[in-house]
A and B are shown apart, each in its own frame.
Chain A
C-alpha cells in the first residue's frame, strides 16, 4: 500500500519509522471544511450531512478497504446508532454529546455479535449475510412501532443546546461545527488505528489471509474487532444524523443507504483513509446537482457515473489521481 519512491536518500528504517507522520495534504479536508463554513453559509445543512456520510464511509473503509470485508449491510450500524441516539433523546436524555458514546457502544455491540457469527464466511455468502443482518434490523424497527415510531418515524427528538450554549439552529451552524468536530475526532482515531500495527495487520489480512495465519496472527479475531470498531464508528455517524435531523426514519437501516455509502467510498478510493473524504462529498454534491437538473432520471446519470468509474477509473478518484501522479513522475 505504501509506495515510497522518494525514499532513496534516507535509510529504509528511518523511512518506515516516520511513515505515519502527518503530511500536509492530509490537512486539506480540514482547511476545506473551515473554508466551507465561511464561504457557503447557506449550505451548512448539506455540509453537515456530507460530513456525517464521510464519517460513515470512513467506518466502512476500515471494514472494506483495510480488512477487505465486502458488506452490503453497513447501514445496520448507522441505523442502530441513529435509533439509539433518537430514542435516548425522546426519553429525556437530551444531552447530545454524551449520547454519542452510548450510540457507539450499542452499535458496536451489534457489530460484535453479528461479526462473530457471520465473519466465518466469505464471498457471496458473507455479502448475503451482511445484507440479511441489516434487513432483519430494518424489519424489526418497522415492527417495533412503540419504540421506533415504525414507518412514520421517530418523532419528538428534542436536544438541549450543546454545552448548554449552542442550540441547533435553522441554518445548521451548530450542526455543521458539531459534525466537523466529531468527524475530526473520528479521523484522528481511524488514522491512528490504520497506522498502528493493528491497521497494518488488517491490510495484511486483506492482501493475503493465508500468510497472516502463517505468521500467527489471530485473523478472525482481528476481523471481528475491526468490524466492531467500524460498527461503533458507524453508530456515531448515525447518532449524529439523528441529532442533527432530530428525526429518525426507517431509511437509516435501508439497503439504499448501505449501497450509497459503498458507492461513495469506492468512488473516492478504497483503503486509503481519504477515499471517504473525497467520495462522499463528490457523490452527494453530484447527486444534489443531478437531482436538481433532472429530478426524475438523475439516478441514470449516477448509474452511468458508476459504470464509467469502474470501467475507466478503478481505485476510485484517489486511485486515478495516484496513477496520474505516478505517470507524471516517471
Chain B
C-alpha cells in the first residue's frame, strides 16, 4: 500500500510541477506551435522551426512591447489524437490566441473542430489536403495544396506536347490527391494517361516500380512522394535505372525535390521538371535576402526548403494580425484580417489568402533541376501567376 501511495504521490508532484504559471498580462500574445519535432518528419520540421525562429528574430522589433510567447508542442508524427490533446491543452490551459504548425493533414484535421469550438484561429503551415479548409471557418493555410501544384503541372505538361504520361504516387491521402490533380489537369489539356501506380507508404525500394514504368516507355512520368528520404530514394532510382536515357521525362510535384535534400541526390540527369512554390535558388531579391539571412544564422551549408518558407510566411501572417490588433487578439477580427492578407515580401514571391476559401493563393513555378556551379538547384523557368487551389471549384460542396 505504501508503494501505491508513493507512486501516486510522485505522479501528483510531477503533474503539479507542470501546472500553468500565472495568467498572462494583457500584451502577451500566446501562439501554440504543434509540430512533429521528433518522429518521421523531424528533418522537415527542423527546417520549419528554424524559419520560425529566424522570422521572430528578424521582426521582433516590430511588435514593440507586445510580448510574443511561442509554446511549442511535439505531436511526434502523424498522431492526430496527440495533436488534438496538445491543441486542447494549449487552448484550455495555456490559453493560446492562435494555433499554428501542423505538418500532417490528419493532425490538422483532428484539431480543426477545436478551432471552431474554442474560436481560436489556426494557421496551417504545411498540411496540404484541400478538403481540410472546410472543416472549420477558423483555418487559414499559408503553404499549398496538392491540387495547387499538380493540377497546373498536368496542364503545363500537356501544353509542352507530352502525349502519354504515367503516374506514380505514394499510396496515401496526399498521393491520391496529387494523382487525381495531375490526371485532371493533364487529360483536360489533351494528354493521355497510360498507367498509374500507387507505391506503398513504407517502401524501401522504388526501383521495381520505376523498372516497370521504364518497360512501358511513356513520354513522361509524373511522381509524387513525401519529401525527405523518399524523395532522395526516388531520384536515385530514377538515375540508377537510366529512365532519362530511355526517354522517360520525370515531372514531379515540388515535394520530390526539397532544396535541402538536393545535395544528397547524386548525379540526377538533367531535364527533371517540377512544379513548386519555392526554390532556394530563386533570384528574386526577397529570396536572396532570405537565403542570406538563413545562411548567416544556420551556416553556409544550410539551405532553406519550401517547408521553411511555409513556416516563415505563417509567422508573417501571425505578426500581421498581432500588429494590426496591437496584441489584443480577437478571433473573428483575426480571421477578418487574415482573409485577403497579402504579402509581397515572401521569399516565394507574392502570396495572399483567398478571402473566400481562406486558402493560399500564390505563384507556382515550373523549375528545372539543374547543376549550377556544381550544385543541384531548382531553377525557375516559368511562372504561373497567382494560382488558386482548383479543388473547391472542381469539388463544390
Contact = CB atoms under 8 A, between A and B. Distances in A.
Q: Give yes or no for direct A-B contact (beta carbon below 8 Å).
A: yes
Interface of A: 23-25, 28-29, 32, 35-36, 39-40, 42-43, 45-46, 49, 139, 142-143, 145, 149-153, 155, 170-172, 241, 245-252, 256, 274, 278, 281-282, 285-286, 288-289, 291-292, 295-299, 317-318, 321-322, 324-325
Contacts of A324: 3
A23 B201 CA distance: 50
Q: Is the interface of A mostly helix, strand, loop or mixed?
A: helix
B7 A321 contact: yes
Given A45-B92, A49-B85, A172-B88, A251 B80 contact: yes
26 contacts: A29-B4, A32-B11, A43-B15, A45-B88, A142-B171, A142-B201, A145-B173, A151-B174, A152-B105, A152-B132, A155-B135, A170-B91, A170-B114, A170-B117, A247-B109, A251-B77, A251-B79, A278-B7, A282-B10, A285-B14, A286-B14, A288-B18, A289-B18, A295-B74, A296-B38, A298-B38
Given A285-B11, A289-B14, A291-B38, A274 B4 contact: yes
A321 B78 CA distance: 36
Given A245-B84, A245-B110, A292-B18, A150 B173 contact: yes
Contacts of B135: 155
Given A170-B88, A170-B114, A245 B81 contact: yes
Interface in B71-125: 72-74, 76-82, 84-85, 88-89, 91-93, 105-107, 109-110, 113-114, 117-118
Interface in B161-211: 171-174, 176, 200-201
B46 to A, nearest CB: 8
A153 B3 contact: no
Given A145-B173, A151-B172, 13 more contacts: A25-B5, A28-B8, A29-B4, A35-B12, A42-B93, A43-B89, A45-B85, A151-B106, A247-B110, A282-B10, A285-B11, A318-B3, A325-B3
B37 A295 contact: yes
The list of the 10 closest CB pairs from A to B, nearest first, reads A321-B3, A151-B172, A153-B106, A295-B37, A247-B110, A249-B80, A42-B93, A152-B173, A25-B1, A151-B173
A194 to B, nearest CB: 18
Nearest to A135: B202
A45 B89 contact: yes
B142 to A, nearest CB: 19
Contacts, number: 154
Given A150-B173, A151-B105, A251 B78 contact: yes
A247 B81 contact: yes
Q: Is the interface of B mostly helix, strand, loop or mixed?
A: helix
A152 B109 contact: yes
A13 B106 CA distance: 57
Interface in B1-52: 1-5, 7-8, 10-12, 14-15, 17-20, 37-38, 42, 46
Nearest to A282: B11
A282 B117 CA distance: 31
A282 B72 CA distance: 22
B198 to A, nearest CB: 9
A288 B19 CA distance: 12
A32 to B, nearest CB: 5
A317 B7 contact: yes
Contacts of B10: 282
B129 interface: yes
B81 A249 contact: yes
A295 B46 CA distance: 11
